Structures are given as C-alpha cells and as structure tokens.
C-alpha cells in the first residue's frame, strides 16, 4: 500500500456551502439587520429614505457619495443624471434586434456590453472614470429597460425627457404615457428599496469580476447575469407566476400542500440574511393591497396573504418569511408592467448599489480568489486513449 501523501485542506478545512457567513471586506454602504428586519443605507433606514421625498436620485447620491446631498447638490446630481439618460443609436439597434429573441435581462446584458464597446474610455480603470461610468449607467439602464419593453411590442423607442425625474421618465418611456403621480411615487420607493443590499449574489459577482481590474461594464454585466437567476432577482417574476398558477384564493391551501409534498421552495420566501420579515416586504404589503384593489387584481393580493399565512405558520419558526420579491410583482402587475420586466426593474435600482460597492473597494483593491476543498484523486495513472 502506498504511503498516504498530505493533501491541502482535505479533511481539515471548515466551510459553509454558498460562502454562508464568509466576510469579504469592510464596507460602510449598507447594513442588513437580519435579526430585527432592518435595512440601513449609510446609516439611514430605508423607511426614512422612502418617506423623505428625495426620491431614488437622493438614494443613488447617498450610496455613491457617502452622505445625503444638500438641495443644490441633489439638483445638480439630478440634472447630471437626466442629461445622461439617452442611449446611442447602436444600443437602440441592439435592443430592437434582441428584445423579441429572449428574456429582457438578456437584452439588458447585451445592451450594457454595447455601451462598453462604444465608450473609448472603457478600459480606463480609475475611481474618477468608474464614477463617471456609474452615473451614466444609473441614468441609461432605465432607458434601456423601457426601450426593451417598447421594442418587444413593435412600439418605437422613446427618447428621455430630462425635465422630469428618473422614475417618472422610466415609466413614461416604458408605457408611452405620463404616469400618475402616485404610480411614479411608488416606483421611486421600489427603486429606493431595491438599490442596495449588502454582499448579495449579484453584488458579489460584480465585485469579484471588478477585482481583476477589468472594465466596469464587464463587472455590471456579471451582476446582471447573477441577478437574473430565480434564487435572486428572478424570484419576483416567479412569485407572481405562482399567484397566477394558484389562480383562486380558495385553491391556496391545496397548492401549498402540493408544494410541500413535492418539496418545492415557495418563491418570495426565505433569505440568507433575514430570519425575520424583510423590511421591504413590510413596506410593499399595503401598497400591493392599494394597487391591486385599484387595478381590479385584488384576488392576487388575497392569494398572497393566504399563502403568507400558510408559509409563515409552517416555516416562520425556521426564519422563513416573505422577502422583497413577495409583494413587488403584484404592484408592478397592477401598474400594467409585463411579468418578465420585473427583474430588469430590479436592475434599474441595483445599479447604484453595485457601482457604489465597486467604487468603495477599488482604491484598496485586492483580487478575490477563494479556494475549494479538493476531494478528487491525486495519483491517477494516465491510460492512453486506445487502452481505456
Ligand atoms: C433566498 C434563498 C435562496 C436563501 O437560501 P439559503 O440561505 O441558501 O437557504 P437554503 O436554500 O439552504 O434553505 C434552508 C432551508 O430552508 C428551506 N427554505 C428556504 N427557502 C424556502 C422557501 N422559499 N420555501 C420553502 N422552503 C424554503 C430549504 O428548503 C431548506 O430546508 P432544509 O434545511 O430542510 O433542506 C432561499 O430562501 C430561496 O430559495 N427562496 C426562494 C427564492 C427567493 O424568493 N429568492 C429571493 C431572495 S430575496
């Protein structure tokens, strides 16, 4: 018997799947208090930011620059973003070409790639240049998402109107009509709530990519790719599809019993960090009621409340409660937005969090490079192909 050779890590390393509990870096951008169900951006609770009236642009400024803007600073920031909203014709062509081919998140990924190719300073990796790109992407991603919604319906892509706010213009470019004030206000809240959320999968993906000092567009594309998945940003779409599949509030008990028997995860529930109610679900709940009643889709809200009661009674003791994606789809649906546009709306908001985190890490950048525990063979003897 050959003597056993030492293997690195084998049998010794302690780790948790999915990097649970692993710490990547220090950050002062946001804090997810999973025990008490609170979300804090740079010291301010999302409840205060939503109620404050400064809109999504105020939150984007806060995340990117570290403090709340004074009035003149916010006015300048808003004007700067508004001036950056339009997208080049080459990007419109990409959108027109790809919007009907696949998921709108795929179109977004491709359109951001095109924006990168069109920027002569794509590869200038400095804090100043990345900040400049961050502002442009924060302004342009809403235009891309709105354009995608239009293109897939053979409607002409609308140019931005810099005289109105980002949320209002986003809805206008998507639907072709000026939104009601309350609708724009709720979209603003939704963008504030989705803007940032600690070291989640898409933020981590974007940061890992950026840590090789590649261009910011590539890093954001990595974030978009990760956000698209059903365990992350894609859950809002899946949640609404669940409510529609249940169809009738009276069918909810049976649906949940079947889901349990099949060990299916119920979309819109559970979270790696929150073991209490996600504060964003708490904020969205009454708005989902208001908007669904107004739109005549109250049955979806009724189903959601029945499902919430069933899942919380069954799994609440294990820290499984509704997350941000549970009610958001009901609201977007009541606004008349297509179901597969929900995750792109998430990206419209999250771009500020992704870029804020990347900019924070860049000055003292170190390549992310974890390891895996190798459990394979070390001494297999090679057999020529003709002898296998
Ligand atoms: C968000 C999520 C990926 C977090 O996952 P995680 O921390 O890796 O937790 P796990 O998937 O390992 O789940 C832990 C346990 O809780 C259960 N669980 C977690 N979320 C659940 C859900 N939504 N429905 C039913 N059971 C769930 C798992 O089945 C698992 O049970 P087990 O220990 O008996 O196998 C997970 O809760 C999930 O898949 N939720 C549904 C998708 C979703 O809404 N995502 C949006 C998040 S904002």
**Pair 189, 299 in one domain:** no
Residues 63 and 149 in one domain: yes
Does 4 reside within a domain? no
**Same structural domain for residues 213 and 106?**
yes
| Residue ID of nearest Cα to ligand 1 atom 9 | 272
Question: Do residues 76 and 156 both lie within one domain?
Answer: yes
- Ligand 1 pocket check: which of 201, 240, 265 to mutate, most ligand atoms within 8 Å of Cβ? 265
Distance 199 CA to ligand 1 centre (A): 17
Asked if 325 and 202 sit in the same domain, the reply is no
- Among 16, 360, 124, 320, which residue's Cα sits nearest to residue 132? 124
In a domain, 117, yes or no: yes
Whether residues 79 and 169 fall in one domain: yes
**Residues involved in catalysis:** 271, 325
Range of the domain at 246: 235-334
Minimal CA–CA distance to 342: which of 327, 359, 329, 326?
Answer: 329
**Which residue puts its alpha carbon closest to atom 33 of ligand 1?**
318
Of 319, 334, 349, the residue at which a domain comes to its end is 334
Cα separation, 256 vs 254, in Å, equals 5
Q: Is 19 a domain residue?
A: no
Q: Would 88 be classed as within a structural domain?
A: yes
- Burial 295-317, CB ≥16 within 10 A → b, else e: bebbebbbbbbbbbebbeeeebe
Does any domain span residue 375? no
- Any domain includes 35: yes
Q: Are 216 and 253 in the same domain?
A: no
Q: Is 195 a domain residue?
A: yes
Count of Cβ atoms closer than 10 Å to residue 40 Cβ: 18
Give the count of domains, the chain.
2
Instruction: Say yes or no: 219 and 242 in one domain.
Output: no
346 inside domain: yes
The predicted model scores a pTM of 0.94
The whole-angstrom separation of Cα 354 and Cα 206 is 7
Ligand 1: lining residues by beta carbon, under 6 Å: 18, 231, 235, 265-272, 315, 320, 323-325
Same domain, 314 and 251: yes
80 and 171 together in one domain: yes
Instruction: Tell whether 271 and 356 lie within a shared domain.
Output: no
Tens of pLDDT, residue by residue, the chain (388 residues) = 445 555 555 556 788 999 999 999 999 999 999 999 999 999 999 999 999 999 999 999 999 999 999 999 999 999 999 999 999 999 999 999 999 999 999 999 999 999 999 999 999 999 999 999 999 999 999 999 999 999 999 999 999 999 999 999 999 999 999 999 999 999 999 999 999 999 999 999 999 999 999 999 999 999 999 999 999 998 899 999 999 999 999 999 999 999 999 999 999 999 999 999 999 999 999 999 999 999 999 999 999 999 999 999 999 999 999 999 999 999 999 999 999 999 999 999 999 999 999 999 999 999 999 998 888 898 999 999 999 9
Is there a single domain that holds both residue 215 and residue 298?
A: no
Write the CATH number for 166: 1.10.580.10
Residue showing tokens 């890490």: 361
Q: What is the CATH number of the domain that holds 323?
A: 1.10.230.10
């Amino acid at each position: 018997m050959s003597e056993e050779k030492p293997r690195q890590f084998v049998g010794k390393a302690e780790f948790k799947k999915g990097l649970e509990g692993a710490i990547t870096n220090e950050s002062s951008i946001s804090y997810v208090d999973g025990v008490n169900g609170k979300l804090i951006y740079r010291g301010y609770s999302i409840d205060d930011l939503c109620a404050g009236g400064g809109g999504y642009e105020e939150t984007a400024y806060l995340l990117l620059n570290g403090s709340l803007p004074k009035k003149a600073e916010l006015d300048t920031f808003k004007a700067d973003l508004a001036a950056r909203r339009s997208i080049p014709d080459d990007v419109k062509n990409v959108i027109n070409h790809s919007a009907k081919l696949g998921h709108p998140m795929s179109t977004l990924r491709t359109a951001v790639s095109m924006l990168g190719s069109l920027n002569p300073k794509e590869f200038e990796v400095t804090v100043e240049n990345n900040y400049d790109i961050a502002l442009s992407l924060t302004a342009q991603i809403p235009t891309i998402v709105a354009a995608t919604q239009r293109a897939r319906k053979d409607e002409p892509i609308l140019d931005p109107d810099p005289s109105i706010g980002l949320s209002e213009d986003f809805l206008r470019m998507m639907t072709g009509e000026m939104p009601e004030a309350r609708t724009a206000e709720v979209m603003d809240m939704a963008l504030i709530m989705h803007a940032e959320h600690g070291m989640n999968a898409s933020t981590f993906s974007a940061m890992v990519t950026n840590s090789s000092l590649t261009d910011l567009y590539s890093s954001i594309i990595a974030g978009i790719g990760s956000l698209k998945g059903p365990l992350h940003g894609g859950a809002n779409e899946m949640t609404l599809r669940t409510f529609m599949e249940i169809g009738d509030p009276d069918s909810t008990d049976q649906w949940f019993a079947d889901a349990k028997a099949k060990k299916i995860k119920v979309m819109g529930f559970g979270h790696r960090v929150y073991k209490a109610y996600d504060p964003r679900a708490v904020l969205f709940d009454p708005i989902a009621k208001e908007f669904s009643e107004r739109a005549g889709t109250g049955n979806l809200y009724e189903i959601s409340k029945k499902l919430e009661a069933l899942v919380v009674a069954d799994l609440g003791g294990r820290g499984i409660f509704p997350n941000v994606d549970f009610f958001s789809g009901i609201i977007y649906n009541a606004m008349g937005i297509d179901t597969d546009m929900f995750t792109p709306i998430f990206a419209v908001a999250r771009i500020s969090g992704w870029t804020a985190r990347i900019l924070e890490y860049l000055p003292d950048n170190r390549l992310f490079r974890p390891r895996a525990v190798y459990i394979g063979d070390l001494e297999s003897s090679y057999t020529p192909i003709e002898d296998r």
